[in-house]
Amino acid sequence: MQIVKQDGDMLLCVKPAGVAAQGEAGMEGLLRAQTGGAVFPVHRLDQAAAGLMLFAKTPAAAAALSRQVREGTVDKEYLTLVSGMPDPPAGRMEDLLYHDARRNKTFPVTSPRRGVRRAALTYRTLATQNGVSLVRAALETGRTHQIRVQFASRGMPLLGDGKYGSRIKGELALWSCALAFEHPKTGERLRVFLPPEGEVWRAWKEWGEQG
């Protein structure tokens, strides 16, 4: 696993596409085998997605970072390629989403009921070519498949996302590009940006601000 930053309390690494975020066969087990120490996941990342993922290395750090996730102070940004052109090119999406655990699929719904949760994100379009747009999205909430279903429900499925209607096969074009959080011990605000890697991204250079 590619480790971007680590110390005695936290570890920031790159999750490859197709690797589960949790479990012995996923990032937890792989990182334990690589580092020889304990790791604790503090947030989720879709198995089909790739990019930055944060882990704690002690129970105390896990509690501190998990609290930040619950309170919404961990900023998470993604780069994605979507079919079509967002209109307007920058804005905010808010939906009610229901996740069907049996089918592992999320659906937008029109009214609250049991299991329905509010989902919101902001986005801006960085470039468009050949009917595909490069979009940077910042999550306000962290729902299962949130970015995928919010864009797909507006007729803009992510490239490679057959589950939500993409006709383009291949790797899911969803990359966790930036994370900002407070260090679990020192309280220092940290922000890390990592450009996307992989064949699906090679034609795109407009990654946006890294600050």
Condensed to tens digits (0 to 9), the pLDDT of residues 109-127 reads 998 888 899 999 999 999 9
What 3-state DSSP class applies to 170?
coil
In a domain, 178, yes or no: yes
Spell out the alpha helix ranges (H) of 36-84: 59-71
In a domain, 180, yes or no: yes
pLDDT (average), residues 120-144: 94
Average pLDDT score over the chain: 92
pLDDT (average), residues 138-150: 94
Supply the CATH number for residue 153's domain: 3.30.2350.10
pLDDT (average), residues 34-40: 92
Confidence of residue 131 (pLDDT cuts 50, 70, 90): very high
| 181: exposed, middle or buried (Cβ count in 10 Å: 0-12, 13-18, 19+) | buried
In a domain, 193, yes or no: yes
Choice among 7, 9, 46, 95 that is catalytic: 46
In a domain, 211, yes or no: no
In a domain, 190, yes or no: yes
- The pLDDT value recorded for residue 207 is 72
Which has more pLDDT, 93 or 142?
93
Q: Residue 135: pLDDT above 60?
A: yes
Torsions phi, psi of 174, nearest 5? -140, 115
Tell me how many domains the chain contains: 1
Whole-model pTM: value is 0.92
CA distance 26 to 81: 25
Does the active-site annotation cover 46?
A: yes
